[in-house]
């Protein structure tokens, strides 16, 4: 299910949760999820509260934005010479804004990786953000749909084939 459609689908199962024994949803397009429709807002808020951090619409929008890091191709991630980085900087200043660039919604995935000196890189941060969103959905399946016998995220294909390789699966 594409982006927010995953949340709509999960929420629609609430009305028939007594009649279902399980469900499976392949997630994708995390970059078009939104806070208002996300099914696991309370889960994320509690998880971040335990870390003494706030989690609200703005923070969720940043996480959603950073999921775009998973789609960066290897040529974007290879080490570049000083001249190549300078050329890229000049090019980027004249190009349209990408989900990885800083904008009004906050810093892009590249900026965060650089600022925090993350060893995982842009793809790794993007992957973590995707999994955080999906993990909340999995928790929703357990708590709100009663699919707590077996609820987990399964990776059904190598991420080199597609970074959108998560299957949420749950059963009673």
pTM across the whole model: 0.76
Token pair recorded at residue 137: 């959905």
Residue 109, in any domain of the structure: yes
Residue 19, in any domain of the structure: yes
Residue 133, in any domain of the structure: no
Average pLDDT of the segment spanning 110-114: 67
Range of the domain at 115: 4-72+84-125+141-162
Residue 18, in any domain of the structure: yes
- Terminal alpha carbon distance of the chain: 22
Average pLDDT of the segment spanning 133-151: 93
Average pLDDT of the segment spanning 105-109: 64
Could you give the C-alpha distances from 120 to 14, 76, 133, 142, in angstroms and in order? Answer: 37, 14, 18, 30
Q: Which residues contact 71 (CB under 8 A, 6 or more apart)?
A: 126, 163
Highest mean pLDDT among 44-48, 81-85, 121-125, 168-172: 168-172
Residue 79, in any domain of the structure: no
DSSP E strands in the chain: the ranges are 22-27, 150-155, 166-171
Q: Into how many domains does the chain fold? A: 1
Residue 78, in any domain of the structure: no
Token pair recorded at residue 103: 């904008």
Residue 95, in any domain of the structure: yes
Q: Which residues contact 96 (CB under 8 A, 6 or more apart)?
A: none
Residue 170, in any domain of the structure: no
Average pLDDT of the segment spanning 57-74: 82
């Amino acid at each position: 299910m594409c982006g927010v459609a995953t949340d709509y689908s999960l929420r629609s199962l609430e009305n028939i949760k007594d009649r279902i024994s399980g469900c499976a949803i392949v997630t994708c397009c995390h970059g078009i999820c939104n806070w208002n429709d996300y099914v696991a807002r309370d889960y994320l808020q509690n998880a971040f509260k335990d870390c003494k951090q706030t989690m609200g619409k703005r923070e969720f929008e940043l996480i959603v934005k950073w999921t775009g890091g998973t789609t960066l191709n290897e040529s974007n991630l290879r080490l570049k010479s000083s001249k190549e980085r300078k050329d890229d900087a000049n090019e980027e200043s004249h190009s349209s804004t990408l989900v990885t660039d800083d904008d009004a919604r906050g810093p892009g995935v590249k900026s965060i990786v650089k600022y925090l000196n993350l060893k995982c890189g842009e793809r790794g941060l993007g992957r973590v953000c995707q999994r955080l969103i999906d993990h909340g959905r999995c928790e929703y399946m357990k708590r709100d749909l009663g699919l707590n016998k077996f609820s987990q995220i399964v990776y059904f294909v190598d991420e080199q084939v597609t970074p959108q390789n998560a299957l949420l699966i749950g059963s009673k």
